[in-house]
């Protein structure tokens, strides 16, 4: 098969779970004998389309210049430069099937182009962007978990205005000042139109892939076609074996991920500040992504907190081999969390927020602990129990199971994509009237 992956951003410019997965599955499909491509939006300042070969996969990087958050939002409605770049790639690569990983900042006309060319596509629901423009179901004004758009979309408008840095009664400033809208009633129709455009893409997708049952159920409850939603847990390329460095006499806890408020890193740091006994917290993440938040973390951290900075993949595995526990104190609905899989590969149990899909991934008291999101005292109590009762950590470590390998996942995805292409090739059966 000729498989084209479509993603909103890509390595090395941006590093995240979706980007790492896109690269890993592209290489895995190349290894399985397929012709594979990746098309992604770049935020570089020179517009145009660049090509490179990446271990057998063709990678096209398309830029329409540096885009602000407002411009990324408006790009869903129309973006001629990115549309033209994708059209060039389709004509050059001629895919049998397209795997849409994400479309933030890409025009919906791309999917319409696929529909006209009768090229089937599947979509992986990596987050809640297909219903929530914020992608995270976390409000920008109150930082509360949201249930998605209301019928009027006024809650989405309020969130957009808050993100633009304005109060709900002031003018919303979107697209770096290029578009000025007054108050919420005028912003709401724009949010509604965005979702209507995305709904048209969803309705024509051959399959909708959900990383967890929670994500599948959430989207089905909001009108996504249940018969085409498939739960397919993802995987990354994991090392064959990781040797844990053994008991150091100090409880070592790692946080590895984004440094932003919705990730709840401040909750973990505050919990650590009150611990008694030998314990260390290692915080790994890119501090430049949100400098203000990172500065607060450093200012409030106790002496037993170490900041490791942004780690490459090799250093991630080295860090996991040295720690005893991995913490995921998120305050929003993570849809999968690859760091949980990576911790399990390293044999480390996890402490996670009892929130959304994470409660499905971790067996409380078996391979980790489920804790109330944002509850500093509960997190501190759980950490203190591991310090005071080392045997409990050993019991959790013995309960860790290895996640599915990338090879196993790629075989399942390959079968699904092949089935999709065969469905399109099958002759239509006409039913005679009774």
What is the predicted pLDDT for the residue at 298? Answer: 96
What is the predicted pLDDT for the residue at 427? Answer: 60
Residue 199 located in a structural domain: yes
Residue 245 located in a structural domain: no
What is the predicted pLDDT for the residue at 165? Answer: 62
Domain count, the chain: 2
**In which band, very low, low, confident or very high, does the pLDDT at 428 lie, cut at 50, 70 and 90?**
low
One DSSP character per residue, 339-392 reads: HHHHHHHTT--EEEES-TTHHHHS-BTTTEEEE-TT-HHHHHHHHHHHHH-HHH
Does the pLDDT of residue 179 top 50, yes or no? no
Q: Where in the sequence is the domain holding 129, given as residue range(s)?
A: 2-236+408-425
Q: Same domain for 195 and 216?
A: yes
The pTM of the whole model exceeds 0.75:
yes
What is the predicted pLDDT for the residue at 16? Answer: 87
Quote the CA–CA distance of 17 and 337 in Å, as a whole number: 8
CATH classification at residue 348: 3.40.50.2000
Q: Same domain for 173 and 215?
A: yes
| Nearest Cα to Cα of residue 198 among 178, 223, 217, 180 | 223
**In which band, very low, low, confident or very high, does the pLDDT at 177 lie, cut at 50, 70 and 90?**
very low
Mean pLDDT (whole number) for 396-412: 95
Average pLDDT score, the chain: 90
Mean pLDDT (whole number) for 360-385: 96
Q: Same domain for 412 and 276?
A: no
pLDDT digits (tens, 9 = 90+) for 79-136: 999 999 999 999 999 999 999 999 999 999 999 999 999 999 999 999 999 999 888 8
pLDDT digits (tens, 9 = 90+) for 36-64: 999 999 999 999 999 999 999 999 999 99
Residues 6+ apart with CB under 8 A from 257: 263, 284, 285, 328, 339
**How many other CB atoms are found less than 10 A from the CB of residue 196?**
10
Quote the CA–CA distance of 19 and 22 in Å, as a whole number: 5
pLDDT digits (tens, 9 = 90+) for 272-305: 998 999 999 999 999 988 899 999 999 999 999 9
Mean pLDDT (whole number) for 397-411: 95
Q: Same domain for 169 and 28?
A: yes
Q: Same domain for 46 and 125?
A: yes
Q: Same domain for 75 and 187?
A: yes
Q: Same domain for 271 and 149?
A: no
Does the pLDDT of residue 197 top 80, yes or no? yes
pLDDT digits (tens, 9 = 90+) for 199-224: 999 999 999 999 999 999 999 999 99
């Amino acid at each position: 098969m000729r498989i084209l992956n479509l993603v909103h951003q890509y390595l090395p410019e941006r590093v995240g779970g979706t980007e790492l997965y896109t690269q890993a599955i592209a290489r895995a499909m190349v290894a399985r004998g397929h012709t594979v491509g990746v098309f992604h939006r770049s935020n570089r300042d020179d517009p145009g389309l660049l090509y490179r070969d990446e271990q057998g996969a063709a990678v096209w990087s398309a830029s329409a210049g540096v885009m602000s958050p407002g411009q990324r939002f408006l790009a869903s409605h129309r973006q001629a430069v990115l549309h033209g770049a994708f059209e060039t790639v389709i004509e050059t690569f001629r895919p049998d099937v397209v795997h849409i990983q994400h479309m933030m900042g890409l025009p919906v006309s791309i999917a319409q182009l696929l529909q006209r060319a009768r090229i089937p596509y599947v979509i992986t629901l990596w987050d809640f962007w297909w219903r929530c423009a914020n992608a995270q179901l976390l409000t920008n004004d109150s930082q509360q978990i949201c249930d998605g758009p209301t019928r009027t979309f006024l809650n989405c408008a309020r969130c957009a205005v808050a993100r633009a840095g304005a109060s709900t009664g002031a003018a919303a400033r979107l697209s770096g000042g290029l578009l000025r809208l007054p108050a919420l009633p005028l912003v709401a129709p724009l949010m509604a139109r965005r979702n209507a455009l995305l709904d048209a893409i969803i309705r024509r997708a051959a399959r909708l892939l959900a990383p967890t049952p929670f994500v599948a159920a959430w989207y089905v409850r909001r009108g996504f076609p249940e018969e085409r939603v498939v739960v397919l847990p993802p995987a990354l390329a994991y090392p064959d074996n990781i040797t844990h460095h053994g008991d150091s006499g100090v409880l070592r806890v790692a946080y590895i991920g984004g440094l932003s408020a919705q990730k709840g890193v401040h909750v973990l740091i505050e919990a650590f500040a009150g611990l008694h006994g030998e314990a260390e917290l290692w915080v790994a993440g890119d501090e430049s992504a949100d400098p203000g938040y990172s500065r607060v973390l450093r200012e409030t951290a106790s002496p037993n907190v170490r900041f490791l900075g942004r780690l490459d993949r090799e250093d991630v595995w080295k860090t996991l081999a040295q720690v005893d526990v991995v913490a995921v104190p998120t305050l929003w609905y993570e849809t999968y969390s690859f760091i949980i899989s990576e911790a399990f590969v390293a044999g480390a149990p996890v402490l996670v927020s009892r929130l959304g899909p994470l409660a499905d991934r971790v067996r409380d008291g078996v391979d980790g602990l489920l804790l109330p999101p944002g509850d500093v005292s509960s997190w501190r109590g759980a950490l203190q129990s591991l310090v005071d009762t080392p045997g409990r950590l050993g019991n959790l470590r013995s309960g860790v199971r290895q996640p599915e390998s990338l090879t196993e996942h790629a075989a399942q995805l390959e079968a699904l994509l092949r089935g999709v292409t065969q469905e399109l090739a099958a002759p239509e059966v006409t039913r005679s009237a009774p």
